């Protein structure tokens, strides 16, 4: 039966045979192409349109990623964030967010790569420095973590959390006095910040 149908499709004249289904005979389709000399001018326009489509799709994936993130479905969020970065690779915000999701999913190496990419291309991004410091700290690389937190606190000196984490890094480096000063600064900026208050209490 499959052979008969294929034969009919390939040979429209057979449609008149008894017991064979009716098919439209194939007709040539005329394609009107742009003159060759106009093609180079059209290419940049097409590429620009494709770039716009890619950027718009990246934004859609970013929204999906955030939706999954709010539900605690980090792996699903990461999948969409990867697509957003693939379609809009130069977007530093997307890279920073992907790094954070890598971190939440336990992919520390990939997280470091994304945060490094962001700070190298935007040295004023204190959030990326902070995030990189968190990953370095989690890997017990306290000196690297301290350097990241120092960069972050220089860019955002009123952030109590950065001061606190800088203090924790310095504490693990054996610099208790410097750590205390950081905790005190954090507590001064935010008297209700329990982490800083707790660290000060632990130091005695």
Q: What pLDDT is recorded for position 48?
A: 59
Give me Rg for the CA atoms of the chain: 30
What does the alpha-carbon distance between residue 111 and residue 177 come to, in Å, rounded to a whole number?
31
Share of the chain above pLDDT 70, in %: 74
Question: Per the structure, how many domains does the chain have?
Answer: 2
Q: Is residue 8 one of the residues assigned to a domain? A: no
pLDDT of residue 50: 52
Q: Are 145 and 169 in contact (CB under 8 A)?
A: yes
User: Which ranges in the chain belong to alpha helices (H)?
Assistant: 2-10, 39-70, 74-87, 92-104, 108-121, 126-138, 142-155, 160-172, 176-189, 194-203
What's the predicted TM-score (pTM) here? 0.70
Domain-embedded: residue 30: no
Domain that holds residue 172: 123-204
Q: Does a structural domain hold residue 36? A: no
Whole-angstrom distance, CA of residue 84 vs CA of residue 136: 25
**pLDDT tens-place string over residues 29-48:** 444 444 545 555 565 665 55
Residues 131 and 159 in one domain: yes
For residue 194, is pLDDT > 60? yes
- Domain-located, residue 35: no
Position 84 scores a pLDDT of 86
**Per-residue model confidence (pLDDT) at position 42:** 60
Question: What's the confidence (pLDDT) of residue 21?
Answer: 44
Do 102 and 128 sit in the same domain of this protein?
no
Please check whether residue 198 lies inside any domain of the structure. Answer: yes
> Which residue, among 109, 101, 108, 67, has the nearest Cα to 85 in the 3D structure?
101
Q: Give, in order, the Cα–Cα distances in Å from 39 to each of 30, 50, 173.
A: 19, 16, 63
- Residue tagged 């977007």 (tokens): 91
């Amino acid at each position: 039966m499959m052979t008969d149908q294929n034969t009919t499709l390939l040979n429209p004249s057979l449609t008149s045979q008894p017991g064979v289904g009716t098919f439209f005979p194939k007709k040539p389709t005329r394609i009107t192409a742009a003159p060759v000399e106009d093609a180079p001018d059209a290419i940049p326009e097409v590429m620009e349109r494709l770039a716009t489509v890619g950027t718009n799709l990246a934004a859609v994936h970013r929204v999906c990623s955030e939706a999954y993130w709010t539900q605690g479905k980090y792996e699903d969020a990461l999948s969409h964030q990867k697509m957003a970065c693939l379609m809009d690779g130069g977007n530093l915000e997307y890279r920073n967010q992907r790094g954070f999701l890598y971190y939440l999913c336990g992919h520390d190496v990939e997280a470091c790569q994304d945060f490094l990419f962001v700070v190298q291309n935007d040295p004023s991004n204190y959030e990326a420095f902070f995030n990189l410091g968190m990953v370095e700290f989690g890997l017990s690389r306290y000196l690297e973590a301290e350097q990241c937190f120092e960069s972050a606190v220089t860019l955002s000196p009123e952030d109590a959390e950065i001061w606190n984490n800088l203090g924790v890094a310095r504490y693990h480096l054996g610099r208790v006095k410097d750590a205390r000063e950081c905790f005190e600064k954090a507590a001064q900026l935010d008297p209700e910040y329990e982490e800083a208050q707790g660290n000060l209490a632990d130091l005695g």
